Structure 1
Amino acid sequence: MAFWQKHWTTAAPIVAWLTYLASFSGVVPTLVLAATLIASVLAAVHHAELVAHRVGEPFGTFLLAVAVTVIELGLIVTLMSAGGESATTLARDTVFAAVMIILNGLVGVCILIGALRHKEQVFQQVGVSASLATICALTVLTLVLPNFTLSEAGPVYSTSQLAFVAVVSFLLYATFVGVQTVRHRDYFLPDKAVVADQEIHAAPPSNARTAASGMLLVLCLGAVVLLAKTLAPAIEGAVSAAGAPRAIVGVIIAALVLLPEGVAALRAALANRLQTSLNLGLGSALATIGLTIPAVAALSLLMGLPIALGLDTKSVVLLLLTLIVSTLTLGTGRTTVLQGAVHLVIFAVYLFTTIVP
């Protein structure tokens, strides 16, 4: 048992690949596939965190956000390829779900539990404001504007519009990454005066261990994509059998891949490192839009798959409310219990209206 607890992150990708190969025989239960998929996601984030600790902040949170986004992108692309025209809104639903889960659910919980333990927490407003400004631009350009263009009837872009928005989204995200990691790196660093997590002071892993984790991370990501493709019919079948809206599939995908990162953000908030929590959450939201939308747009253009990005009216209202409240909440550099509660209420409304539209 002790051996398994120590080496499960190494065993997880191996077991995942063996499970995937065994699924060709049709004897692997759906629950086993799901459990193996979750274990692979957790192992992938573990290895990403280990590599991140080696390269330091804010590269660490950036690397973790990209790793999680690659997992999410792999899930979306495989499900879109398998679903064809029936998966037209999958990318939109998943990206919107990720934004709502992060800006309301994750940020709300981190602020709330951090405030309950530490009363008031502080962070660098300049870095967070830069992140929010980029998120506002990306979400409106990709999820709202398609409803108001004239070349094609909403909620879709024409071919040229889709290509243009995909390029500018990627360039905007790349610019943010350059600011976060090079030009203004200090804007995103935690305040050393409030760092309380002893793990931040742990010795970085050796080069050999970092390289091993890098290879295991690749194995985990590949296993997640393949297992997700295997599980896709079961997920969509369960949603249809329950009579739930198809948008629930996007919520499930987003929640699945964001869960491990959410745990890391919560641990940082409890350790009075809200800056790290916000870097993780907002960085993941940016990567989700800035990488996923261009990738699915390229898939749509190359394979001729239809893709609808524009949100319905209810979702647009909730998105704009979320962006306004997030700007006000994170506009002072300090947070309290009330701000966390407001975000969680919006998140609860989003979940309820997704199930009961």
Structure 2
Amino acid sequence: MIVRLRSLLTQWTAVVPVVAVVLLAFTWGRDLPGAIVALVTLVLAGAVLAAVHHAEVVAHRVGEPFGSLVLAIAVTIIEVALIVTLMADGGAKSSTLARDTVFAAVMITCNGIVGLCLLVASLRHGLAVFNAEGTGAALATVATLATLSLVFPTFTTSRPGPEFSTAQLTFAALASLVLYGLFVTTQTVRHRDYFLPITRLGEVIDVDEHANAPSAGATRISLGLLALALVGVVGLAKGVSPTIESGVEAAGMPQSVVGVIIALLVLLPETIAAVRSARRDRVQTSLNLALGSAMASIGLTIPAVALASVWLSGPLVLGLSSTHMVLLALTVVVSSLTVVPGRATPLQGGVHLVVFAAYLELAVTP
């Protein structure tokens, strides 16, 4: 057992997260020259792959849907910490940061990741099959959270502009926590079978038949290395953000594109893990990751920024623009039609990807 653990600790998937955190400590808050940016980018890519590996180890040990939940919550907690840090440093100019980041996460997960996974699974296996009950419950929760937190502020009148009053923001934060807590309870306790992968005959797959589960010691090590890798991914993504900002500015694109790029980097571990599950015909696991990440992004970010707004100066703008509200409404409608049958063809995957492409296009040329 000791020999196996030592072997685990000498693998590249164990070394890279440690290197990422050490590099983060040396580069945090500094202007980076081109050569260091290249090194940071290389280590960032390695940390992403390491995070996916350790997430899969943990998921194999604890089983679904707990494995998907671990990765989604871990990424979101670190993402929330990054948002609050940037808001504290940015002052008034960061008033829309939480809104832009959360909406980017929703569009990336509900259209980008979902569309890519449905396309990969349906092209590889003929049809992408999943549990409509569990996926429908997740989608309904995401739609409700997004509407309460991102749409209503545009129409409320207690404060000028797309902002909540203190009472409204408190309600949105509490509602987000309650809905997220109810969903996690439903997913992991009362109706866990709704979120397990299914066969083409509708039978639930509750075990991983490909390999023996890792030991408890190996799982604990992977859990710790997963946390290190995610800290490295998010922190190094912030480190290269000035270079990204310069490139975006040089290309004449809006500053909101920076948020999209950072969100894409932060969600890369979940994207890779979801696509791998889709290739193995575990589409339900892919959807758990995608919709769970969207839900955690809203359900944890909004309460966090609501609490942080007590001491942060400047306004907190949460309301979406009309263009983004149309995209959100289209996403909810298309996702509902995708979920209802419990199976999807390449067409459904393509539709989601086109909606995601439209979001990216409008982000670049609003």
- What TM-score does the superposition give when structure 2 sets the normalisation length? 0.89
Tell me, in whole angstroms, the C-alpha distance in 1 between the residues paired with 2:49 and 2:219: 17
Closer, same or farther: CA 92–209 of 1 in aligned 2, 3 Å: same
2:88 maps to 81
Q: Would you say 1:211 and 2:215 are equivalent positions?
A: no
What RMSD, in angstroms, separates the aligned Cα atoms of the two structures? Answer: 2.5
Q: Would you say 1:290 and 2:328 are equivalent positions?
A: no
Q: Would you say 1:235 and 2:241 are equivalent positions?
A: no
Which is further off, 100-109 or 223-232?
A: 223-232
**Counterpart AA for 1:201:** H
Tell me, in whole angstroms, the C-alpha distance in 2 between the residues paired with 1:77 and 1:200: 42
**Counterpart AA for 1:342:** V
- How do residues 1-357 of structure 1 correspond to structure 2 at under 5 angstroms? 7-23=11-27, 29-192=36-199, 201-357=210-366
Tell me, in whole angstroms, the C-alpha distance in 1 between the residues paired with 2:82 and 2:147: 23
Offset of residue 278 of structure 1 = 1.0
Closer, same or farther: CA 230–105 of 1 in aligned 2, 3 Å: closer
> Which blocks of at least 5 consecutive residues in structure 1 are unaligned?
none
Which is further off, 139-148 or 163-172?
A: 163-172
- Number of residue pairs matched by the alignment: 354
**Counterpart AA for 2:294:** A
Offset of residue 147 of structure 1 = 0.3
Matched-pair contact (CA < 8 Å) for 2:151–2:325 = yes
Tell me, in whole angstroms, the C-alpha distance in 1 between the residues paired with 2:10 and 2:281: 28
Tell me, in whole angstroms, the C-alpha distance in 2 between the residues paired with 1:81 and 1:41: 26
Provide, for residues 323-347 of structure 1, a one-character-per-residue CA deviation record: whole Å limited to 9, x for no partner.
Answer: 1110011111111122112111111
**Counterpart AA for 1:130:** A
Aligned partner of residue 150 in structure 1, secondary structure: coil
Tell me, in whole angstroms, the C-alpha distance in 2 between the residues paired with 1:36 and 1:80: 26
**Counterpart AA for 1:134:** T
2:3 maps to none
Closer, same or farther: CA 82–232 of 1 in aligned 2, 3 Å: farther
Closer, same or farther: CA 305–182 of 1 in aligned 2, 3 Å: farther
Matched-pair contact (CA < 8 Å) for 1:49–1:60 = yes
- Identical positions, percent: 54
- What TM-score does the superposition give when structure 1 sets the normalisation length? 0.91
Matched-pair contact (CA < 8 Å) for 2:234–2:266 = no
Offset of residue 225 of structure 1 = 4.7
Tell me, in whole angstroms, the C-alpha distance in 2 between the residues paired with 1:82 and 1:343: 35
Offset of residue 229 of structure 1 = 4.5
Offset of residue 98 of structure 1 = 1.2
Matched-pair contact (CA < 8 Å) for 1:45–1:67 = no
Tell me, in whole angstroms, the C-alpha distance in 1 between the residues paired with 2:14 and 2:314: 37
Closer, same or farther: CA 305–233 of 1 in aligned 2, 3 Å: farther
**Counterpart AA for 2:40:** L
